[in-house]
Amino acid sequence: MKLYTVPLAPNPMRVTLYVAEREALGCEFDIERITVNTLKGRQREPEHLARNSWGTLPVLELNSGQFITESLAIIHYLENAISGPSLLPDQAEERALARNLERIIEMRIALDMGQYVHCQKSPLGHAPDLPRAQELAQRIQLGLDYVETLLGDGRQFVEGPNPGVSDCTLAAFLQFMRFTETDLIGEREALCGWDQMYRERDAVKSLFML
Ligand SMILES: N[C@@H](CCC(=O)N[C@@H](CS)C(=O)NCC(=O)O)C(=O)O
C-alpha cells in the first residue's frame, strides 16, 4: 500500500495519528508514505489527479491499484485490513456511538476549523477572509462546548477510556488551527487538558510540530 500524504494538513494527519495509535498497540502497517507537496501545488498536477480527481490528500493506493480518497474511508479500510487491536469498539452499540461522535467532531468542528484556518492564514495561499473566519469561529464554539461537556465526566479520551478515531480527528484539526496562532479553545479546562495530554503521549508526540 502507498499513502500519499503531506505534513501538517489535518486530513492526512488524522490518518497518520490513527496509524500511530494502532502501531502503539502492536499492529503492523506495511505502508509506503509518499509526500505530495501542496505548498508547490503538486496535488493539482496530472500525476496526483489521476489518483484523486479532487486533488486532495490523503490518498491510499491499495495493492490492487485502486485508490481510496477520503480520510475516514481510509481509516475504516485499515480497521478491516490490518489485524490486531482496533481503535473502534467491538460491540455494535459502542461502535455506532464512536462513529457517531467522530461524525459530530468532523461535521461540527473539523470542517469549519479547516476553513477557518484558510480564511485566517492559509498555508495554501488562499486570500484571507476575516469576516468569514469570525463567523466560523463562532460556529465552532458550539462543537467545542459539546466536547467540553463530554470530557467533563472525567473520561480520559473523547470517546472514553481509550483513544479513538474521534481523538485523531480532533487532535489533527487543533494542530492545524495552531498554525494560525489563534485560540478557539479559550477557557475550556477539560478540552485544554485533553489537548495537552493527547499530544504528549509517547504514541503520537513525535508527530506534532505545532
Ligand atoms: N474529505 C476529504 C478532504 C481532503 C482534503 O481537503 N484534504 C486537504 C488537506 S487537509 C487537501 O488536500 N487540500 C489541498 C487542496 O485542496 O488543494 C478527506 O477527508 O480526506
Question: Does residue 176 fall inside a structural domain?
Answer: yes
pLDDT of residue 182: 86
Question: Does residue 144 fall inside a structural domain?
Answer: yes
Q: Does the C-beta of 175 come closer than 6 Å to ligand 1?
A: no
Classify 4 as helix, strand or coil: strand
Ligand 1 geometric centre to CA of 210 (Å): 19
Rounded Cα distance, 76 and 27, in Å: 15
Total number of domains in the chain: 2
Instruction: Give me the chain's average pLDDT, please.
Output: 97
Per-residue HEC secondary structure of 23-46 comes to HHCCCCCCCEEEECCHHHCHHHCH
Whichever domain contains 168, its CATH number is 1.20.1050.10
Ligand 1 geometric centre to CA of 89 (Å): 27
Question: Does residue 210 fall inside a structural domain?
Answer: no
Average pLDDT value for residue range 152-163: 96
Same domain? 39 vs 58: yes
Whole-model pTM: value is 0.97
Ligand 1 geometric centre to CA of 205 (Å): 23
Same domain? 158 vs 201: yes
Same domain? 154 vs 176: yes
Atom of ligand 1 nearest to the CA of 71: 20
Same domain? 126 vs 199: yes
Q: Which three cell numbers stand for residue 3?
A: 499513502
Same domain? 69 vs 126: no
Identify the sign of the CA torsion 76, 15, 128, 180: positive
Q: Does the C-beta of 52 come closer than 6 Å to ligand 1?
A: no
Q: Hunting for cell 491499495 — which residue is that?
A: 62
Domain boundary among 81, 104, 129: 81
pLDDT tier, 171 (very low <50, low <70, confident <90, very high otherwise): very high
pLDDT digits (tens, 9 = 90+) for 69-119: 999 999 999 999 999 999 999 999 999 999 999 999 999 999 999 999 999
Rounded Cα distance, 20 and 51, in Å: 24
Ligand 1 geometric centre to CA of 59 (Å): 10
pLDDT digits (tens, 9 = 90+) for 35-64: 999 999 999 999 999 999 999 999 999 999
Same domain? 75 vs 162: no
Whichever domain contains 58, its CATH number is 3.40.30.10
Q: Domain span at residue 168?
A: 92-205
pLDDT(210) > 80? no
Instruction: Work out the end-to-end distance of the chain between its first and last CA atoms, rounded to an integer number of angstroms.
Output: 28
Question: Does residue 141 fall inside a structural domain?
Answer: yes
